[in-house]
Chain A
Amino acid sequence: MDSITRLNCRYGDDKEFAGCSIFGMMNLQGKRFSSKDPIRAISNMHERGNGLGGGFAVYGLYPEHADDYAFHIMYLSREAKRKTDKLLNESFEVVYDEEIPTKKANVRDPPKVWRYFVKPNVKKLSTKAADDYVLEKVMRINTETGKAFVFSSGKNMGVFKGVGFPEDVAEFFCLEEYEGYMWVCHGRFPTNTPGWWGGAHPFNILDWTVVHNGELSSYGINRRYLEMYGYKCTMQTDTEVLAYAFDLLMRRQKMPIDIVSQIVAAPFWDEIDGLEPGEARVLKALRQTYGSLLMNGPFSVVVAHHAEMIGLTDRIKLRPLSAGTRGDFLYLSSEESAIRLVSPTLDRSWNPRGGEPVVGRLETSKVVEVMAK
């Protein structure tokens, strides 16, 4: 573990902490739209970042390859690509691959970033089994060479991120060419010397993406709990732990978001004690079982996966999060002014309560705000 930790953080910090800006925009009808508004919004929150990290996750990105897993992989060396290509060819049928087109922009030391459209080459896998298979291979790629890292591994979506202001990263990856029905963006304020593109947000596993503002004081134990379930924490950021937690609870253990938020932003014991016995029993059991996944410390996150965008803050609301709706659009942002810039009038504009998720769902075309009783 030591060699991996040193590789990603030369100072041997326990973990990276970063101040940030986050933004999410979703069309609840699934209609795809361009990068213009997301980029405008995230760059408006310029003061929350310091130009050492920016990134975007786009859903509905590759409709022509909708059934293939789309891998975005960054390489720091040719050897790493060679090894990774070998692994990919052994484990997958590679339908198509190419270098992601880029152009000159104000970003630092860009690595090479490739995209691959793949299918697992094991026949008759259920969706869950296929996902677990991909998960395992992604963990392998991330730990094997130390110079190859998977930015994203979901179907019909992709993550573009790196070291620069978000608007510069957008320019570098030619994001004006793409459309998606959901965009999740991030601007970062890290303290390590720039260079590590893998450290930027969004963080992704399968089609789960997390952008995160804050620092988890519980990271040490969150990580060790997740490692028991086969997740390898290599990125040295708290965000990684959030993404794995959502994958474990929502995808593998099939819990709905309102339960997951009661685990991750658990209510206080005296609140639980004051509830109806039936409800109190459930919440007590959740906290007893999943106490190690309680995320302590300030956080506001936007978590996305296909058909759902979730905004959530810690239980005592130490980080800002603003929500807004207009027509078919749902907006989530660290600062309301960023939403207003791209949509000066809103049907509804509010600041969600701590620990209570705001969920935009595609199939119901509705925005659900789950209120604690």
Chain B
Amino acid sequence: MDNAEELVAEIGRRFLPRVKAKGNAYTVNAADLYYRDLNVLVRALSNNGAEKIEIRNVYGQRYIGTNLDKKIDIEIHGTPGNDLGAFMNGPTMVVYGNAQDCCGNTMNDGLIIIHGHTGDVTGYSMRGGKLFIQDDVGYRVGIHMKEYQDKRPCLIVGGTTGDFLGEYMAGGVMLVLGLNLRQGGKHSARFAGTGMHGGVIYVRGGVSHLGIGAKAADVDGDDMKQIQRLVVEFCYYYGFNPDKIMEEKFTKVIPVSHRPYGKLYAY
């Protein structure tokens, strides 16, 4: 492999058998590799100039992508563990498999694409970057997402969600496509948008139950432009047909006021 000696110096001899290099792209075999060692290895490769890292045989290793801040491409084959991309700040991660809980936790920047479903607490406190999930997500997704000026996180779900979607949302945009619902079907999530005070959730299909502080509204021209843009981008990564998706009706969930709990307290 190229610059083998530098690589060995960087990552240590013990990891060598797991790594194959081709120019600035690396393949790592993560079978039976403890998450701390895997993350140290991936970071060392990134520091060594890697532009792309393919990680195979991933079974539950946590925090992949957490300590990376370069605009590097990471491909994950298997089932990454909890906190995938937590606090992440820049990389693009594509997962060929399902992810677990806390994916994109407090994510600051970057792109995560999941070819499957995720567990609960996806995108908790996201503050930037993009997170796309092909199928369903679990409970408490997009809690307390935030935005400021041009730093606006974006979370798109291809399937449907569990309860408590967008609790305390303060900013950012979520789009739930419900591609696995039957025609004209409703999402069954309850308490969506509880305590929302910023941001917007676009829903394809109907919403059955909203939380305190959230209301459903019709989408206007600007909304549809934004939705169109998001759908096209989503479809690009999954090879779906955006026109078919755009045929269904969209609703939006927005805050009733920016102070949903303003009347709760006696001053």
Q: Do chains A and B touch in the complex (CB under 8 A)?
A: yes
The reply to whether the CB of A351 lies closer than 8 angstroms to some CB of chain B is yes
| A47-B62, A337-B60, A351-B117 known; A316+B139 contact, CB < 8 A | yes
> B120 and A320: CB pair below 8 A?
yes
Least Cβ distance of A368 to chain B in Å?
19
Least Cβ distance of A200 to chain B in Å?
22
In the bound assembly, the distance between CA atoms of A105 and B25 in angstroms comes to 43
B95-144: which residues lie under 8 A (CB-CB) from chain A?
97-98, 100-101, 117, 119-120, 136, 138-139
| A47-B62, A320-B100, A351-B138 known; A337+B80 contact, CB < 8 A | yes
Q: Which of B59, B117, B119 contacts A340 (CB 8 A)?
A: B59
In the bound assembly, the distance between CA atoms of A350 and B159 in angstroms comes to 12
| A316-B139, A320-B101, A322-B119 known; A353+B162 contact, CB < 8 A | yes
Could you tell me the dominant secondary structure of chain B's interface residues?
Answer: loop
A-B contact pairs, 30 of them (CB 8 A): A44-B59, A44-B60, A45-B60, A47-B35, A316-B163, A316-B164, A317-B139, A317-B162, A317-B163, A320-B100, A320-B120, A322-B100, A335-B60, A335-B81, A335-B100, A336-B100, A337-B58, A337-B59, A337-B78, A337-B81, A338-B60, A340-B78, A340-B97, A350-B136, A351-B120, A351-B136, A351-B138, A353-B162, A354-B162, A354-B163
The reply to whether the CB of B82 lies closer than 8 angstroms to some CB of chain A is yes
The reply to whether the CB of B79 lies closer than 8 angstroms to some CB of chain A is yes
The reply to whether the CB of A106 lies closer than 8 angstroms to some CB of chain B is no
By a CB distance below 8 angstroms, the chain B residues around A335 are 60, 81-82, 100
By a CB distance below 8 angstroms, the chain A residues around B58 are 337
Q: Which of A316, A337, A341 contacts B100 (CB 8 A)?
A: A337
With both beta carbons as reference points, the residue of chain A lying nearest to B97 in the complex is identified as A340
Q: Which of A316, A336, A338 contacts B119 (CB 8 A)?
A: A336
> A317 and B59: CB pair below 8 A?
no
Least Cβ distance of B140 to chain A in Å?
8
By a CB distance below 8 angstroms, the chain A residues around B164 are 316
By a CB distance below 8 angstroms, the chain B residues around A337 are 58-60, 78-81, 100
By a CB distance below 8 angstroms, the chain A residues around B136 are 350-351
With both beta carbons as reference points, the residue of chain A lying nearest to B101 in the complex is identified as A320
> A317 and B81: CB pair below 8 A?
no
> A336 and B163: CB pair below 8 A?
no
The reply to whether the CB of A349 lies closer than 8 angstroms to some CB of chain B is yes
Range of interface residues on A (Cβ < 8 Å): 10 to 19
- Point out which of B35, B60, B119 has the most chain A C-beta atoms below 10 A from its C-beta: B60
Least Cβ distance of A24 to chain B in Å?
17
With both beta carbons as reference points, the residue of chain B lying nearest to A268 in the complex is identified as B190
> A341 and B138: CB pair below 8 A?
no
Report A334-349 CB contacts with B as 1/0, cut-off 8 Å.
0111101100000001
By a CB distance below 8 angstroms, the chain A residues around B138 are 317, 351
Give the 4 A-B CB pairs with smallest separation, nearest first.
Answer: A337-B60, A337-B79, A341-B59, A340-B79
Q: Which of B82, B98, B163 contacts A349 (CB 8 A)?
A: B98
In the bound assembly, the distance between CA atoms of A335 and B163 in angstroms comes to 20
By a CB distance below 8 angstroms, the chain B residues around A44 are 59-60
> A317 and B120: CB pair below 8 A?
yes
> A341 and B60: CB pair below 8 A?
yes
In the bound assembly, the distance between CA atoms of A273 and B22 in angstroms comes to 63
With both beta carbons as reference points, the residue of chain B lying nearest to A316 in the complex is identified as B163
Least Cβ distance of A44 to chain B in Å?
5
Least Cβ distance of A187 to chain B in Å?
13
With both beta carbons as reference points, the residue of chain B lying nearest to A341 in the complex is identified as B59
In the bound assembly, the distance between CA atoms of A349 and B59 in angstroms comes to 15
Report B220-233 CB contacts with A as 1/0, cut-off 8 Å.
00000000000000
By a CB distance below 8 angstroms, the chain B residues around A336 are 79, 98, 100, 119
Least Cβ distance of A21 to chain B in Å?
10
In the bound assembly, the distance between CA atoms of A354 and B97 in angstroms comes to 23
B149-199: which residues lie under 8 A (CB-CB) from chain A?
162-164
With both beta carbons as reference points, the residue of chain B lying nearest to A337 in the complex is identified as B60
In the bound assembly, the distance between CA atoms of A317 and B162 in angstroms comes to 9
Least Cβ distance of A281 to chain B in Å?
22
> B119 and A351: CB pair below 8 A?
yes
Supplied contacts A316-B163, A337-B58, A340-B78, 8 more A-B pairs, CB within 8 Å: A44-B59, A45-B60, A47-B81, A322-B100, A337-B80, A340-B79, A340-B97, A354-B163
